[in-house]
Amino acid sequence: MWYSAGENYEPNAIGYAVSHDGLHWEKYPRNPVFIAAGQGWDSHKVAGCQVIRRKEDYIMFYIGYRNDDAARIGMACSKNGIDGWVRHPGNPIVSPDPGAWDGDACYKPYALFDGQNWRLYYNGRKGGVEQIGLAEYAGADL
């Protein structure tokens, strides 16, 4: 299981834990497994990830923050799903659209692959209004 941990308001890192029964969990001893970048759009904190296992690797969709209010969605890959995460060069993959319903922040990603295309559901916010949006990517190769 991958989880967000750290601060009270929007945790600041992603950890990993394993369980043999779904009730008792053991945290990975070298947590966190994914942290904020040194600079750029996700330099403040990372949280709220979804990890999907593919044939050759693991892909993570995550929330990256430049500050507490500026959230975008990024993607990273790892061979084993625990360490060696490499951020996608096209990050952020979903960003706020100034003036639109998601003009302030994009976060809480949930991706699905239907065998041909990717669909990424996410929360968007403008002012105090939060709604759910959909971003699509044609093709299997991200």
Q: Where does residue 72 fall: left (phi above 0), alpha (psi -120 to 50 degrees), or beta otherwise?
A: beta
CB distance 6 to 44 below 8 Å:
no
pLDDT (0 to 100) of residue 10:
67
Handedness of CA 60, 61, 62, 66 (dihedral sign): positive
pTM score:
0.94
CATH numbers and ranges of domains, the chain: 2-138 (2.115.10.20)
> 78: burial class by Cβ within 10 Å (0-12, 13-18, 19+)?
middle
Q: What are phi and psi of 111, to 5 degrees?
A: -105, 145
Task: Read off the pLDDT of residues 13-70 as tens digits, 9 standing for 90 and up.
Answer: 999 999 999 999 999 999 999 999 989 999 999 999 999 999 999 999 999 999 988 8
Task: Read off the pLDDT of residues 87-108 as tens digits, 9 standing for 90 and up.
Answer: 999 999 999 999 999 999 999 9
In this predicted structure, the answer to whether residue 2 has a pLDDT above a threshold of 90 is yes
Q: What are phi and psi of 104, to 5 degrees?
A: -100, -40
